[in-house]
Amino acid sequence: MAIHFFTEDTSFNLPQKRVRKSWLNSLAASEGFQIVELNYIFCSDEYLHKINLEYLDHDTLTDIITFDNSEEENVIEGDIFISIDRVKENAKTHKSELQQELSRVIGHGLFHLMGYKDKEEGEVKAMRRKESEGIKLFEELSVPRETGK
């Protein structure tokens, strides 16, 4: 089980990497999936726009693009590109904390790899519900635990 975090064309540093890896593995396991190889690449708008044009022929800015490399059922192998510029902008637009918006987008990519879609209204509602559950779990895992007395 390998989860990696990289940056391209940005100086972003993801906080709580160890907690995030545990969180992502928990989210996958709760859906009956195992993460074998998962790469998160945090980048700029410009970098992700080029990927959007080259691979999807979309001339738009986006916060995330997910590539599923899995060949087996219930196994996760993929690359998830996240624009830090878009995440910051989304946090402002939605009046949410940056870390919460970051968790939403990180979880969103994983949920795509587990088969959740977000094109139709019902799919969007299901995705938002999963994102909210994921954020709640991350926040629970992030709370420092009291040590025994």
pLDDT (tens digit, 9 = 90+) per residue, 7-60? 999 999 999 999 999 999 999 999 999 999 999 999 999 999 999 999 999 999
Residue 128 lies in a domain: yes
- Which residue type is seen at 88? K
CATH number, residue 66: 3.40.390.30
In a domain, 147, yes or no: no
Buried b (16+ CB within 10 A) or exposed e, 71-93: eeeeebbbbbbbbbbbbbebbee
Q: Enter the pTM of the model.
A: 0.93
59 domain-assigned? yes
In a domain, 25, yes or no: yes
Q: In terms of residue numbers, what domain contains 111? A: 2-142
> How far, in Å, CA of 69 to CA of 142, rounded?
29
Mean pLDDT over 78-103 rounds to 97
Into how many domains does the chain fold? 1
149 in any annotated domain: no
Q: Does a structural domain hold residue 49?
A: yes
Q: Is 118 a member of any domain?
A: yes
Per residue in 111-149, pLDDT (tens digit) is: 999 999 999 999 999 999 999 999 999 999 988 765 554
- Average pLDDT of the segment spanning 76-104: 97
Residue 108 counted as an annotated binding residue? yes
Q: Is residue 101 part of a domain?
A: yes
